[in-house]
Amino acid sequence: MKVCLVCSHGGHFTETLQILEAFAGHEIFFATYHSAREADVLNIAPGSYFTENIGMNLGRMLKAFPWALHILLKEKPQVVISLGAEVAVPFFYCAKLLGMKTIFIESWCRVENLSLTAKLVYPIVDEFWVQWPQLLKVCGSKARFKGAVI
Amino acid sequence: MILVTVGTHNKGFERLVRAMDELAAELDEKVIIQYGSSSYIPVYAEHFQWTSSQQMQELTRQARVVVSHAAAGAILMALIEGKPLVVVPRMKEFGEHMDNHQLQLSVALYKAGQAVMVSQINKDTLILAIQKCSILEVKETGAKMLVLGIKDRLASWSSNQ
């Protein structure tokens, strides 16, 4: 299968590296932020895409939707997976529109409360996983604990 | 060598940087402090503001103990290298982060026996924590369960196509 891995840079990218062996035998590419680790991303997946850090900027978030749609239409992955952060939002909504399967894994740094990204994507993702069992208490019935990155 | 890291966060973590620098003055062991956005610049310890993740990884490998702000990326780096870890949460009340989720992560790690936590930051609590974590049995857990979960899901979707 072709898998699109969506993540911001920094810790979210570090977490994503921890699960890469799950994709042996599949084709992967990243959609992530420009950062000092771009060369690392391209070493793993040469056909990856980069954009500006969205942060809490609504303008950049809105611009990310056509960017995500363009990438998904061009690459046609069967599955979109993300450990956050906010860059996951446009990708999951576009993936839902295009009938692609989605897995959201809440970041390992979230122990007792969900991130805003998690709350925004919960309604539409096929799989919603958390990395700490105690977090299940504050999630809907869709949520599962399937282990952690460490 | 004791490696201290406060990450690339845009807020400083002067409480930790200052206390570890004061401790460095009293220790024979080398202390290296990555001070990031902190306005206090170390005087006694070797220090730098930022570096590449490769260099951080290399320093982590060389360290005997890591003292880190409680951010996922920094903690992961230490645990992946199997290093004894002291986690110090950034607190909203001190302007070190926008909320207190680092405290929750620190407590969870402490309860899981994967790190020693310091919340009252001073030389005494820090040296005690450094001594304690050195004798913690660092568990090699890895992402096996999660990786299997993902593989299973992909396989079931693949067979349904």
The interface predicted TM-score (ipTM) is: 0.94
The answer to whether residue B153 neighbours chain A at the CB level (below 8 Å) is yes
pLDDT band for position B141 (cuts 50, 70, 90): low
For residues A76-89, give the mean pLDDT.
96
The answer to whether residue A129 neighbours chain B at the CB level (below 8 Å) is yes
Interface probe for B, chosen from A14, A80, A105 (most Cβ of B below 10 Å), is A14
- As a whole number of angstroms, the distance between CA A5 and CA A48 comes to 9
Residue A57 CB contacts under 8 Å (≥ 6 apart), including other chains: none
Residue B145: list chain A partners with CB under 8 A: 146-148
pLDDT of residue B22: 97
CB A98: neighbour CB atoms within 10 A?
Answer: 13
pLDDT digits (tens, 9 = 90+) for B46-100: 999 998 888 999 999 999 999 999 998 899 999 989 999 999 999 999 999 988 9
Q: Percent of chain A, pLDDT > 70?
A: 100
Contact (Cβ atoms closer than 8 angstroms) between residue A61 and residue A86: yes
A142: which DSSP letter?
T
Residue B73: list chain A partners with CB under 8 A: 10-12, 14-15
Residue A18: list chain B partners with CB under 8 A: 76, 80, 142-143, 146
A80: which DSSP letter?
E
pLDDT band for position B140 (cuts 50, 70, 90): low
Average pLDDT of chain B is 93
For residues B112-135, give the mean pLDDT.
94
- Residue B14 sits at φ, ψ, to 5 deg, of -55, -35
Nearest CB to B71 within list A109, A110, A131: A109
Q: Does the pLDDT of residue A56 top 90, yes or no?
A: no
Nearest CB to B73 within list A14, A131, A148: A14
Q: Percent of chain B, pLDDT > 90?
A: 79
Contact (Cβ atoms closer than 8 angstroms) between residue A108 and residue A17: no
pLDDT of residue A15: 94
pLDDT of residue B85: 96
Peptide bond before A85: cis, by omega within 30 degrees of 0?
yes
- As a whole number of angstroms, the distance between CA A140 and CA B10 comes to 33
Place of tokens 């982590």: B60
- What sign does the CA torsion over B109, B78, A47, A90 have? positive
3-state SS, one letter per residue, for A13-24: HHHHHHCHHHHC
Report yes or no on whether pTM surpasses 0.90: no
- As a whole number of angstroms, the distance between CA A18 and CA B75 comes to 13
For residues A109-131, give the mean pLDDT.
95
Count CB pairs under 8 A between chains A and B.
104
Q: Does the pLDDT of residue B19 top 70, yes or no?
A: yes
DSSP letters, B49-102, are S---HHHHHHHHHH-SEEEEES-HHHHHHHHHTT--EEEE---GGGTSSSSSHH
Which residues share a beta bridge with B116? B86
